[in-house]
Amino acid sequence: MATAVNKSACFGGRGYPDLRDHLRALKEADLLYTIDEPVNKDTELMPLVRWQFRGGIPEAGRKAFLFTNITNSQGRTYDLPMVVGAMAATPAIYGIGMGVPVDKIGDHWKQALSNPIPPVVVANAPCQEIIIEGAALDGEGNGLDALPVPLSTPGFDVAPYLTSTGCITRDPDTGVQNMGTYRGGIKAPNRIGLKMFVNLRQGGHAHWHKYKARGEKMPMAIMVGCPPSLAYVSPQKIRDGVDEISVAGALAGAPIRITKAKTVDLMVPAEAEIIIEGLVDTDMFEPEGPFGESHGHINLEEYNFIFEVTAITRRKDAIMATIISQVTPSESSVIKRVAMEPKFLNHLRDGLGIKGLRHVSMHEPLTNIRRVLFLVFDRDVPTTEIWRALYAASAVDSACGKYVIAVNEDIDPENGDAVFWALAYRSNPALDVVILPHRDRGHGPALERGNGEDASMLIDATLKADMPPIALPKKEYMEHAKELWETLGLPPLKPESPWHGYSLGDWTDEWDDMAKRAADGDYLENGRRSAQLRRNDVAPNISIRDVPPLHGKE
């Protein structure tokens, strides 16, 4: 894995990296493509990046893309560069942005959530080096229309969309700010169609209701491009009453610098690349979409929120940032998964005290991490403990856990064949499956049946008793054969679990000795043994252990 960025006060005295520092770190780690050729943001840019997720490239081979020569379908060119995949095209990129090794990300999140660091206020913020407001927002080529916002799903999306957003709102009663990732379709140079998911209980939507009750429009600031820690907290569900910017400070190891927005009463990150300020209408809605959503389907046209832009502030040399989402795996699924898996594990293992739970795996390809969860257990965990975990996992998050499957540590949950293997031989549908009705449909297309409700299926696919060994050569023989394979210059191997045989408990020392004799070429000795055990009082296919021993024999 690439070396993580060292957190120190060297980042311009901030104590944390901004987007430019992060891109330099990615370049040093050979995790950044820089594309200087002209690329059309409306037809070419996102399809180009998409191929590294749908083209058979292994996860470790994915990189961020920095486009420096952006055009559109009308021949316009843009002054601002754009970066895609810089936050989480891979867990390695995420780890660099977080400043910790990948295997420490879970612990780092746990500490940050428990010990937020409040932000500090500064003046003369970089995010306000250029201020565009009033009449300068109007007309084609101005305001939002001057930004190189891409089409995420050409052929289906009806507008360029802001996707890598940090949408900042404030509770009018408590004054506590919230930051969430909501999509925003460009409707006009000064207007955005905003989607806040009502059924996911997003913080900005709760604030909107309070402003509506007051008869006021809701102030909002949309951050586009930012220090990595801010990008990581924005899509996560943080407990109510906690300002995400303070959690970002804990992730960064230093207080995030904030400044007063120019036209709305909100505090915004000083090192943001672009801030779009405005008001969300609390009276009127207008059609928004279709748009390719992160659940992997096109979200069809529906009425949604109207965001009226009052100002755009940015750095002089701002970098436009976007995220690749839609069908998973994608950057949006990685950015959630690497934080959500340890969150689930910490809740189940540390919060509820469930024993023997090794790992929580959220299935990513096509299913978007939320629908299928795997709980990986040690052997010999009591069935009651496994079921306690299954029920609990289905209730951690209303959007997660439509299918929750418990497996043992020898099953790789990312290998579908291995999962089917566990289901085929380690579970009995009559005994090991429970269906829970009345589940929210979560993040996905609307359900036509069941009054819009969904359900959860819980499956215990763990070993319930000892089983015979896996019918593959033992590890030492497979390892030796691998060496021989490589010596012969045969095609490179990619071992798939299971790639060697191992005991599942139902195996005796005597059988082990017999197998060793056979491997040593002494199989005739085993034949002599079996001849001594001949008898005429048994039927074919009867286990040797199911009949009494011959007189004088063991």
CA distance 274 to 270: 10
> Count of residues for the chain?
554
Q: Are 189 and 137 in contact (CB under 8 A)?
A: yes
DSSP code for 256: P
Q: Are 414 and 359 in contact (CB under 8 A)?
A: no
pLDDT of the residue at 447? 67
**Residue 218 parent element (H or E):** strand 218-224
CA distance 277 to 263: 7
> Does 198 have pLDDT greater than 80?
no
Cα dihedral across residues 51, 54, 56, 57: positive or negative: positive
> Does 78 have pLDDT greater than 90?
yes
Strand pairing category for 161-162 and 130-133? unpaired
Nearest-10 crossing angle of helices 331-345, 91-98: 70
CA distance 545 to 542: 8
The percent of residues above 90 in pLDDT, for the chain, comes to 66
pLDDT of the residue at 336? 78
pLDDT of the residue at 110? 86
Residue 379: C-alpha distances to residues 46, 102, 262, 526 (Å): 45, 26, 59, 32
120: Cβ contacts below 8 Å, ≥ 6 apart: 255, 256, 257, 258
Query: In a 3-state reduction of DSSP, which class is residue 139?
Result: coil
- Determine phi and psi for 519, rounding to 5 degrees: -65, -25
Domains 19-322 and 352-460 share a fold: no
Q: Report the amino acid identity of residue 500.
A: H
162: Cβ contacts below 8 Å, ≥ 6 apart: 149, 183, 184, 185, 186, 192, 222, 224, 276, 322
Place of tokens 């996992």: 393
Average pLDDT over residues 12-37: 93
CA distance 27 to 425: 47
Average pLDDT over residues 66-72: 95
The structural domains of the chain, with segments of one domain joined by +, span 19-322, 352-460, 476-546
pLDDT of the residue at 551? 66
The residues with which 195 forms a beta bridge, in sequence order, are 183
Tell me which residue of 270, 98, 299 sits closest to 182, measured CA to CA: 299
Give a three-class secondary structure readout of 25-62: HHHHCCCEEEECCCEECCCCHHHHHHHHHHCCCCHHHC
Residue 24: other Cβ atoms inside 10 A? 13
pLDDT of the residue at 7? 46
Mean pLDDT lowest for which of 260-274, 300-314, 337-351, 411-425? Answer: 337-351
Q: Are 16 and 253 in contact (CB under 8 A)?
A: yes
Structure tokens at 198: 């009502």
Place of tokens 């748009």: 291
Average pLDDT over residues 363-380: 89
Categorize the per-residue pLDDT at 321 as very low, low, confident or very high, splitting at 50, 70 and 90.
very high
Residue 104: other Cβ atoms inside 10 A? 15
248: Cβ contacts below 8 Å, ≥ 6 apart: 227, 229, 230, 232, 233, 256
Cis bond upstream, residue 495 (ω within 30): no
Residue 153: other Cβ atoms inside 10 A? 20
- The rounded mean pLDDT for the chain is 90
CA distance 334 to 292: 17
Residue 245: C-alpha distances to residues 249, 369, 540 (Å): 6, 25, 71
Helices (H), 320-427: 331-345, 383-393, 416-426
The percent of residues above 70 in pLDDT, for the chain, comes to 95
CA distance 232 to 95: 11
CA distance 549 to 524: 22
pLDDT of the residue at 200? 55
Q: What share of the chain is helix, strand, coil (3-state, %, to 5)?
A: 30, 25, 45
> Does 199 have pLDDT greater than 80?
no
Structure tokens at 34: 């820089």
CA distance 345 to 179: 24
Nearest-10 crossing angle of helices 105-114, 244-252: 130
Residue 206: other Cβ atoms inside 10 A? 14
**Which comes out higher in pLDDT, residue 169 or 454?**
169
Average pLDDT over residues 496-524: 92
- Exposure b/e, 312-332, CB count within 10 A at least 16 = b: bbbbeebbbbbbbbbbbbbbb
Categorize the per-residue pLDDT at 343 as very low, low, confident or very high, splitting at 50, 70 and 90.
confident
Task: Identify the CATH homologous superfamily for domain 352-460.
Answer: UbiD C-terminal domain-like (3.40.1670.10)
> Does 507 have pLDDT greater than 50?
yes
Tell me which residue of 230, 217, 240, 211 sits closest to 268, measured CA to CA: 230
Categorize the per-residue pLDDT at 325 as very low, low, confident or very high, splitting at 50, 70 and 90.
confident
pLDDT of the residue at 236? 80
> Does 294 have pLDDT greater than 80?
no
Q: Are 472 and 486 in contact (CB under 8 A)?
A: no
Q: What is the dihedral angle through the alpha carbons of 437, 341, 16, 168, rounded to the nearest 10 degrees? A: -10
Q: What is the CATH number of domain 19-322?
A: 2.30.110.10
